[in-house]
A and B are shown apart, each in its own frame.
Chain A
Amino acid sequence: MSIQKQSPWSLSTKNVVVIGIGAVLYGLLSYATNFIPVGGNSLRPAIVILTLIGALFGPLVGFFAGLIGNIIVDLFSGQIWINWDVGNGVIGLFAGFAYLLKGLDLSNGRIKGIHYLWIILLNFAGNVVGLIGATLYDAATGTPIETTLAGWSLPSIIVNTAWSATLGLLLIAAIAKRNSSMAGLEIGK
């Protein structure tokens, strides 16, 4: 028997827990791996958590995991950048659109080659919208757009997408393989 695909838009208890624990993973790993600082931001390998959580649980969960995860980083580092919190949420949101792709069903290990391409595109789009959106807010407050783009958005967009397209896809493939191999279990001799 396989497991049915859940509705990604309901706030079921499970989704609430995934948001919480996904946020912890994202926040913790972001903070732990900020050994690659770039400008005010850091290039976080942890972004792959959002890539994966999104693909596994959908846009709603992805959004809040990104948002709360970044709030946790704020609580560690002692600074609050609401626009970047929302920006990270948007990255998770787009990563979560992957869940809606037809034929993709990670909890039963179903994924095709084309899906990987889509996942890269969606994550790229999420970074563009989320991070440029966040800098637009900075620009609106008086910082020249050139500064915000070159200083923060563009390097992060490129590096984040690179992490998602490599490590992120690797994780997704590994999870898919694991879940597909978990069928027809039998106690052996």
Chain B
Amino acid sequence: MKKLNFQYIHGNSALHRLDARTKLALLIIWYISVILFVDMRVLLIFFIGGLSLFLLSGIPFGRIRFMMGFLISFVVMMGILTNLFTPSYAGKYVEIQHQLVTIAGRTLTKETAFYSLTLMVKYLAVFPMAILFILTTNPSRLSSSLNGMGITYKITYALNIALRYLPDVQRDFNHISYAQQARGLNLQGGGPRFGRKVRALLAILFPLLLSSLDRVETVTNAMELRGFGSRRKRTWYRATTFTSLDYLFLGLSALLLAGSIMLKMWVLPGFWYPF
């Protein structure tokens, strides 16, 4: 297995310096706001706004090209499926629909086609914020932040353990595979690609599970010997604190939320289409 890496990039931009809790709040508010609208104009603003935040963070675009491509193929497929299964879905929002094409007795309307475009932009609008969160939040600070939000430390510490043992389990995976090959098991050659992969996986899966279960014992013992879980609370060596920057961003996020809700209620309640 190739060494997998998290997307997180070290850095010192404003976004990097924000507390994970602030970013999480911002992310959730962004999700809610995007979900509220079925209006292409607003969604485009969110999308572009998100992208510009991304540019501000100083992370090169090349870093997300692959994910962007993946996402685009995903939304395109969703668009196609929507048109295929529910060619006149826009009837939910508009009374009169205009026919675009009719195939095999099913009529695709212009409105539905535009609706699926809107949907695609909607998914795209979420993306910049999500990727920003992942690119700028050090995973190893997540557990203390989540604990600070009131989630019990036993759950958030499980996340820490996951991060800690990720490289080890990955190395176990490789070593088991090497050790088996060194003793004559041929995991590399022969057969079609897919079958080969499944076969290799099966040979490694059971040993990997066993070694992981053993690891559970050792780690549990080591943690108990150092007093884990004995109290209702714990402190964190790497705890983060709120700065004025966090309060600023929280304020802005609250404004964003309020603005979105008012806009939705009084100005742009429904589906917008240009014809």
Contact = CB atoms under 8 A, between A and B. Distances in A.
Interface of A: 11-14, 16-25, 27-29, 31-33, 35, 39-40, 45, 48-49, 52, 64, 68-69, 71-72, 74-80, 82, 141-144, 146-147, 150-151, 167, 171, 174-175, 178
A45 B201 contact: yes
A52 B209 contact: yes
Given A27-B162, A68-B162, A150 B78 contact: no
Contact of B119 (A33, A40, A142, A171): A142
Contacts of A68: 158-159, 162
A171 B210 CA distance: 11
B96 interface: no
Contacts of A52: 209
Contacts of B4: 28, 31-32, 76
Interface stretch (B133-141, B184-192, B239-247, B260-268): B133-141
A25 B139 contact: no
10 contacts: A11-B154, A16-B157, A16-B158, A16-B223, A45-B198, A49-B209, A75-B6, A76-B7, A79-B130, A79-B134
Task: State which size class the interface on B falls in.
Answer: 35 or more
Nearest to A20: B161
A147 B85 contact: yes
Contacts of B224: 13
A143 B201 contact: no
Nearest to B135: A78
Contacts of B154: 11, 16
A166 to B, nearest CB: 11
Contact of B78 (A27, A40, A71): A40
Nearest to B167: A24
A72 B95 CA distance: 44
A16 B71 CA distance: 34
Given A143-B119, A144-B85, A23 B162 contact: yes
B115 to A, nearest CB: 8
A14 B77 contact: no
Of A22, A78, A79, A151, most B-chain CB atoms within 10 Å: A78
B216 A21 contact: yes
Given A17-B158, A146-B86, A174-B206, 5 more contacts: A20-B158, A20-B164, A28-B169, A80-B130, A143-B119
B213 to A, nearest CB: 8
A21 B209 contact: no
Interface of B: 1, 4-8, 27, 31, 35, 38, 64, 67, 70-71, 74, 77-78, 81-82, 85-86, 89, 119, 122, 127, 130-131, 133-135, 139, 152, 154-155, 157-162, 164-166, 169-170, 173, 194, 197-198, 201-202, 205-206, 208-210, 212, 215-216, 219-220, 223-224, 228-229
B229 A141 contact: no
A25 B7 contact: no
Contact of A78 (B38, B64, B194): B64
A24 B122 contact: no
Given A80-B133, A143-B78, A144-B86, A35 B194 contact: yes
B212 A75 contact: no
Contacts of A171: 205-206, 209
A63 to B, nearest CB: 10
A80 B131 CA distance: 8
Contacts of A143: 78, 82, 119
B220 A17 contact: yes
Nearest to B71: A79
B12 to A, nearest CB: 20
Contact of B229 (A12, A48, A75, A76): A12
B131 A32 contact: no
A13 B162 contact: no
B173 A28 contact: yes
Contacts of A151: 77-78, 81
